[in-house]
Amino acid sequence: MPETRLIAADDQEMDEAIDAAVVLLAEGGIVALPTETVYGLAADAFNPEAVARVFEVKERPAFDPLIVHIASVTDLPAVAEVPDEIDQTVRQLISNFWPGPLTLLLPKTDAVSDLVTSGLPEVAVRQSGNLIFRSIGKKLGRPIAAPSANRFGRISPTSAGAVVKELDGRIPLVVDGGACSDGLESTIVRVEAGPKRPLIHILRAGPVTKDQLQKFGKVVVDKRRAIDRPETPGQLASHYAPRTPLLMFDKPEDFVPEEGKQYGLLSYKGDPKAGYVDRHDWARVECLSPGSGKLPEAAVRLFFTMRLLDEAGLDAIVAEPVSEKALGLAIMDRLRRAAAPRG
C-alpha cells in the first residue's frame, strides 16, 4: 500500500476531505476519522469484507467487537432493536447524551454481521459528536464501524499525527480534524429493567460519568479487569498500552528503582505532595493536568502524554494514580489496563 494520505478537514479542504473519505468507504476501503473521543479506523459497517480489513490492519482479535456509529438517531432501527422494557430509559439517554461519547449495548438487527459483534447478539452503537465524522456517515448513507485507529492494544490516538505514526502505509487516508476534544473512548452501558428503577451497567468507563447517569437509573459499575471474551470494546485486561512497560503502585514508597534504568513519571499535576515527583530523579516527567489537577484536562491529555513518554527511550513509566471520582474512574481504568501483564 502506498504512503498514507493526510487531508486536513479545515474550511478550505472540508468538502475534499469528506468526499475522499466517502468514496473510499463506499468502495469498501478503510479510513481514519476524527471523533470527539479518539480517532477511529472506519469502515462501512454493512460491508463484511471492509470490516474484516479493519481487524486485519489493527491486528485485532476477531473476538473483540466493534462500535457502530450512526449519523442520525433515525438510523438506530437499522442496526439495533430496543426492547420495550427499556425503551423509555434508552430514549432518555439518547436525548441527553447523543450526539456524544455514550455507547449503548443493544440487541443487533440481522443487517449487522456477526463479524462486527464478534458473534455476540448485541451491538455497541453511538452517534458521534464530531461534525466531520457525522457528515461523512450522512453522505455515505450507511453506519460506520470504527474502533480506535491504532494497532491492537496500543495507546489510542487523539491526533492525526498519532494515527500516522501507528498506521502509515497500512491505510490510504487519514482525515485530520485536529485534536480530540474528550481524549478518552466513549462510556459503554447496557440498560436492564430493574425492580424499582432501570439498571444502567457501565461496561467501560468514559467521558459520560456515573454521576451524570444516575438521574436515569441505578448505575452499576463493572470493575472486572480480566475478561477472556469481551462483551464490548475495551474490556480486555491488557489494553491501551505503550510499548514501554507502565508501572503502578499502591503508594509511592512501593516504587524501588533498579540501578541503571531510566524511569519516566506520568504525574497527575506535578505536585510533590503526592509523593511521586521527589521520589526519584526521573529521566522525564509529563503531567496530565499541570498545576491545576483538573480531571477533564487530565482525560484529554492522557493518551498524548503516555505517547510522549513511550517515545522517550525509557526503560519504564511510573503512573501516579488519580482520584477515582467522575472522569478519574475512566482514567484509572485506562491506566490499570495499560499496566496489566501482557499475555
Residue 127 maps to a domain: yes
Mean pLDDT value of segment 309-336: 96
Task: Tell me, yes or no, whether 258 and 152 share the same domain.
Answer: no
Does 58 score more than 80 pLDDT? yes
147, 176, 205 — which closes off a domain? Answer: 176
Residue 300: DSSP 8-state: H
pLDDT score of 226: 54
- Residues making up the chain, counted from first to last: 343
Does 1 score more than 60 pLDDT? no
Q: Name residue 163's amino acid.
A: V
Per-residue pLDDT tens over the stretch 209-246: 999 999 999 999 987 655 566 677 776 666 788 999 99
CATH code of residue 53: 3.90.870.10
pLDDT-derived band at 196 (thresholds 50, 70, 90) equals: very high
Task: Tell me the three cell numbers of residue 176.
Answer: 485530520
156, 176, 196 — which closes off a domain? Answer: 176
Number of domains in the chain: 2
Nearest to 197 by CA among 228, 176, 220, 175: 220
**Residue 145 domain boundaries:** 5-74+111-176
pLDDT score of 341: 83
Task: Tell me, yes or no, whether 65 and 147 share the same domain.
Answer: yes
Euclidean distance between CA atoms 223 and 203, whole angstroms: 8
Residue 229 maps to a domain: no
Task: Tell me, yes or no, whether 21 and 152 share the same domain.
Answer: yes
Nearest to 186 by CA among 107, 340, 82, 69: 69
Burial annotation 133-148 (CB, 10 A radius, 16+ → b, else e): bbbbbebbebbbbbbb
Better-scored residue on pLDDT, 223 or 338: 338
Dihedral sign, Cα of residue 145, residue 189, residue 85, residue 121: positive
Euclidean distance between CA atoms 336 and 241, whole angstroms: 9
Bridge partners (DSSP) of residue 148 are 40
Per-residue pLDDT tens over the stretch 117-141: 999 999 999 999 999 999 999 999 9
Nearest to 25 by CA among 69, 76, 73, 79: 69
Nearest to 76 by CA among 52, 105, 55: 105
Task: Tell me, yes or no, whether 24 and 171 share the same domain.
Answer: yes
Kindly compute the dihedral angle of the four CA atoms of residues 34, 335, 103, 32, in this order, to the nearest 10 degrees: 20
Nearest to 115 by CA among 171, 166, 71, 60: 60
- Residue % of the chain over a pLDDT of 90: 88
- Residue % of the chain over a pLDDT of 70: 96
Residue 40 maps to a domain: yes
Does 192 score more than 90 pLDDT? yes
Task: Tell me, yes or no, whether 160 and 287 share the same domain.
Answer: no
Task: Tell me, yes or no, whether 264 and 165 share the same domain.
Answer: no
pLDDT score of 225: 55
pLDDT score of 174: 98
Euclidean distance between CA atoms 75 and 143, whole angstroms: 8
Bridge partners (DSSP) of residue 122 are 107
CATH code of residue 291: 3.40.50.11030
176, 210, 229 — which closes off a domain? Answer: 176
C-alpha distances out from residue 155 to 151, 178, 246, 264, 300, Å: 8, 18, 12, 16, 13
